[in-house]
């Protein structure tokens, strides 16, 4: 029983980091219709920058904030290149984000080196329902809940949040009401960068991150995001938790080496199932 609890808690925590990556995907896709292949890069930059800043003597708190700010700045930069040129079709923008994700490797290797980095945030473990659980896992869950609540408030209660929602449902109408959709797109990229960076900051203490960890993080985040058709952050959260818990259970009971396969096969199955239910016409018109 105690091992079940341990797997469950760790699965939920890992799921939370996937949810943050996924919400970044959703954020950017809703506003710009671009699937950002560089979403895993933000997590890598967030995690590696924090580890490296801590190593250079910055105190906790400041290091994390600087890392998040650099992930957001990187998001903005990628947004400028991907959607900044007027008339760039969304599929070209997708290919550009793919290119920038590779380009980011160059910067990461130059700044942080090519070895995995890690750091400690919350020390030790605690006893929870009879199981030993790392304190870091609770930190991850707490921060994720707070950030989802903040996102909810941002979209529901602020003008900027409502403007972002307006751009996602009808860019033309949004423009008529005086909203600049391309500026909103850039804002979405910056927020998506910060969300991805947050996932990286939270996960690096339990899984060391190197410059090429991005594809696995991005694939898991994408798998979670497609639960909600890349449009709904709350369904993405649900998908991420299902994914995290099932990976953790399989890793615990069947064997750690099958974690990746199961997650990916699950993602493929969901995508194909969703595609079979969506008529071609709906996709081509959208």
**Contacts with other proteins, residue ranges (CB under 8 A):** 35, 37, 81, 85, 88, 91-92, 94-96, 98-100, 102-106, 109-110, 113-114, 215-216, 219, 222-223, 226, 257, 260-261, 264-265, 267-268, 271-272, 275-276, 280-281, 283-284
Of residues 113 and 156, the one with the C-beta less far from other proteins: 113
CB count, 10 Å around CB of 74? 25
Q: Which is nearer to other proteins, 9 or 219 (CB)?
A: 219
Nearest CA to 107 out of 52, 168, 54 is that of 52
- DSSP state at residue 131: E
Task: Give whichever of 119 and 222 is closer to other proteins, judged by the CB atom.
Answer: 222
Judged by beta carbon, residue 91 or residue 149, the one nearer other proteins is 91
Minimum CB separation of residue 66 from other proteins in Å reads: 23
Least CB distance from residue 152 to other proteins, whole Å? 26
**In the chain, which ranges are continuous DSSP H helix?**
2-32, 39-55, 62-83, 90-112, 135-157, 159-169, 171-176, 181-203, 214-225, 233-253, 259-277, 280-285
Distance of alpha carbon 68 from alpha carbon 165, whole angstroms: 23
Give the residue with the Cβ less far from other proteins, 95 or 129: 95
Question: For the chain, what's the residue count?
Answer: 286
Closest CA to 227 of 4, 17, 12, 25: 25
CB of 99 to other proteins, least distance (A): 3
CB of 283 to other proteins, least distance (A): 6
Ramachandran bin of 117, using left for φ above 0, alpha for ψ from -120 to 50, beta for the remaining angles = beta
Residue 21 or residue 179: which is nearer to other proteins going by CB?
Answer: 21
Residue 274: CB atoms within 10 A of its CB come to 12
Output the six-digit token pair for 204: 């690096």
Output the smallest distance, CB 263 to other proteins, in A.
Answer: 9
For the bound state, the minimum distance from the C-beta of residue 27 to other proteins, rounded and expressed in Å, comes to 15
């Amino acid at each position: 029983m105690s091992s079940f609890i341990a797997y469950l808690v760790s699965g939920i925590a890992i799921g939370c980091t996937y949810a943050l990556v996924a919400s970044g995907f959703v954020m950017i896709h809703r506003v710009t219709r671009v699937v950002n292949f560089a979403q895993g890069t933000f997590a890598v930059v967030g995690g590696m920058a924090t580890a490296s800043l801590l190593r250079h003597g910055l105190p906790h708190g400041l290091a994390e904030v600087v890392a998040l700010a650099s992930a957001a700045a990187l998001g903005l930069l990628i947004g400028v290149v991907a959607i900044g040129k007027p008339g760039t079709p969304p599929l070209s923008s997708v290919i550009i984000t793919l290119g920038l994700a590779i380009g980011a490797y160059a910067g990461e290797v130059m700044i942080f080196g090519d070895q995995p980095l890690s750091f400690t945030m919350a020390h030790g473990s605690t006893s929870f329902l009879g199981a030993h659980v790392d304190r870091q896992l609770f930190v991850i869950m707490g921060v994720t809940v707070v950030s989802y609540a903040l996102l909810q408030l941002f979209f529901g209660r602020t003008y900027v949040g409502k403007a972002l929602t307006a751009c996602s449902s009808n860019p033309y109408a949004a423009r008529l009401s005086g909203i600049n959709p391309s500026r909103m797109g850039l804002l979405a990229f910056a927020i998506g960068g910060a969300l991805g960076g947050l996932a990286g900051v939270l996960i690096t203490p339990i899984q060391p991150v190197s410059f090429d960890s991005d594809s696995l993080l991005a694939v898991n985040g994408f798998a979670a995001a497609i639960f909600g058709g890349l449009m709904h952050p709350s369904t993405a959260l649900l998908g991420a938790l299902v994914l995290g818990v099932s990976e953790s259970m399989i890793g615990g009971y069947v064997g750690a080496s099958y974690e990746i396969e199961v997650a990916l096969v699950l993602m493929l199955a969901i995508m194909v199932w969703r595609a079979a239910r969506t008529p071609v016409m709906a996709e081509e018109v959208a």
